[in-house]
Amino acid sequence: MPTSAVPPPPEGLDGPEGAAVEPPAPAAVMCFNASEPSGAGGVAGDVATAAAMGAHALPIVTSIVMRDTADIFDQHDIDADVVVEQARTILEDITIAAWKVGFLGSADNVSAVAEVLSDYTDIPLVTHLPNLGWMDEDQLQPYLDAFRELILPATEVLVGNHKTLQDFLLPEWDSERPPSARELAVAAAEHGTRYVLVTGVALPSKGAEQYIDNVLASSQGALAGEKFERFETSFVGAGDTLSAALAALLATGAELQAAVSEALNFLDQSLDAGFRPGMGHVVPDRFFWALPPPEGEEGDEGPEGAPAANDDEPEPEAPPPKAPPRRVH
């Protein structure tokens, strides 16, 4: 009976004595976040963003959020023991290079996640604090108190909208001017957080154009930032996209300030290419870089005065399309 020949291993993957060597796996990021059916944020947003940045997400579901692209209607907690079991199971198998914490669902889950984090204090943690104004007050305050006490001390970078961070870190702020990024960083540092990445800082208008600032700061002052023109639309999933992108970049070994700049530019381009899948807000397109150029942008027209193609002549067979470039860091 004839046997088929075994193909040689790909070039460059030969190990000792000809054994095939697997290519290195992408850096792994464990993401604690809610699951929600719109696919805009939560663990779905984390997985898409990490993949777009060349990392591998390990999603740990902390809550089921009932929402569409416009509103949040309800949420159901995942039992704290189940959250811990998800994380411990995969941590026994895969070495991670960064954490990302999003919405954890309940004060009990905050405590459970903090217990897991405490066993890996050398791994950077990016924490995203979303707007939680939709939660019932009797659930919200215990959640924020636990978050402040247990998650902030482990956090390398706290990411959030300017107003959300102000309400969380400086609830007694009574000045007419909003707090600066440094003042927010000082308040965060009192709980052990090293840096804040403050988004959506309004800047004075320049004619018809309005810009927003996004600032990385420590208690010593502003360290980096990017200014972008304000979009005239509302998005869902932007905060999860930014924080997951930053965690993925830190996981690959990027320096913090460079990672912040790249993550912000990635978010800006994701929002610019965003799409509206339903009747609500726009969803970031994390794979904007893989899209083919719009028709008419490349090679549709020859130089002016060039002869038209002869319709009677068969067109040469087009070469197969190249695979889109993959962003790898």
Cβ density class 155-184: b for 16+ within 10 Å, e for less: bbbbbbbbebbbbbbbeeeeeeeebbbbbb
User: Would you say residue 78 has pLDDT above 80?
Assistant: yes
Q: What's the CA dihedral at 206, 210, 215, 220 to 10 degrees?
A: 40
Mean pLDDT, residues 277-299: 83
Question: Sheet holding 195-202: strands in order across?
Answer: 72-77, 56-67, 28-35, 98-101, 125-128, 157-161, 195-202, 211-218, 221-229
Q: Which residue has the tokens 């912040």?
A: 260
Q: What is the pLDDT of residue 291?
A: 81
Classify residue 51: in a domain, yes or no: yes
Q: What is the pLDDT of residue 22?
A: 86
User: Would you say residue 126 has pLDDT above 50?
Assistant: yes
More confident residue, 34 or 327: 34
Mean pLDDT, residues 90-98: 98
Which residue range is the domain that position 233 belongs to? 28-289
Give 270's contacts (C-beta < 8 A, 6+ positions apart). 241, 284, 285, 286, 288
Chain mean pLDDT for the chain: 87
Classify residue 35: in a domain, yes or no: yes
Residue type, 160: G
Classify residue 205: in a domain, yes or no: yes
Q: What is the pLDDT of residue 18?
A: 58
Q: What is the pLDDT of residue 210?
A: 85
Give the pLDDT band (50/70/90) at residue 115. Answer: very high
**Strand pairing class (221-229; 72-77):** unpaired
Q: Do the beta carbons of residue 39 and residue 285 sit within 8 Å?
A: no
Give the pLDDT band (50/70/90) at residue 292. Answer: confident
Model pLDDT for residues 200-226, shown as the tens digit of each residue: 998 887 766 788 999 999 999 999 999
Classify residue 302: in a domain, yes or no: no
Q: Which residue has the tokens 């961070």?
A: 165
CATH number of the domain enclosing 93: 3.40.1190.20
User: Would you say residue 74 has pLDDT above 60?
Assistant: yes
What CA–CA distance (Å, rounded) separates 173 from 176? 9
Burial class of residue 210, CB neighbours in 10 A (0-12, 13-18, 19+) = middle
Give the pLDDT band (50/70/90) at residue 295. Answer: confident
More confident residue, 279 or 1: 279
Find the helix packing angle between 256-272 and 238-251, rounded to 10°: 140
Classify residue 15: in a domain, yes or no: no
Classify residue 280: in a domain, yes or no: yes
Model pLDDT for residues 224-268, shown as the tens digit of each residue: 999 998 888 899 999 999 999 999 999 999 999 999 999 999 999
| Tokens of residue 301, six digits | 């027209």
Q: What is the pLDDT of residue 304?
A: 46
Q: Per mean pLDDT, which range of 72-81, 160-169, 310-319 is the poorest?
A: 310-319
Classify residue 5: in a domain, yes or no: no
Residue type, 11: E
Model pLDDT for residues 148-202, shown as the tens digit of each residue: 999 999 999 999 999 999 999 999 999 989 999 999 999 999 999 999 999 999 8
Mean pLDDT, residues 304-309: 44
Classify residue 267: in a domain, yes or no: yes
Domain count, the chain: 1
Mean pLDDT, residues 125-149: 96
Mean pLDDT, residues 37-66: 97
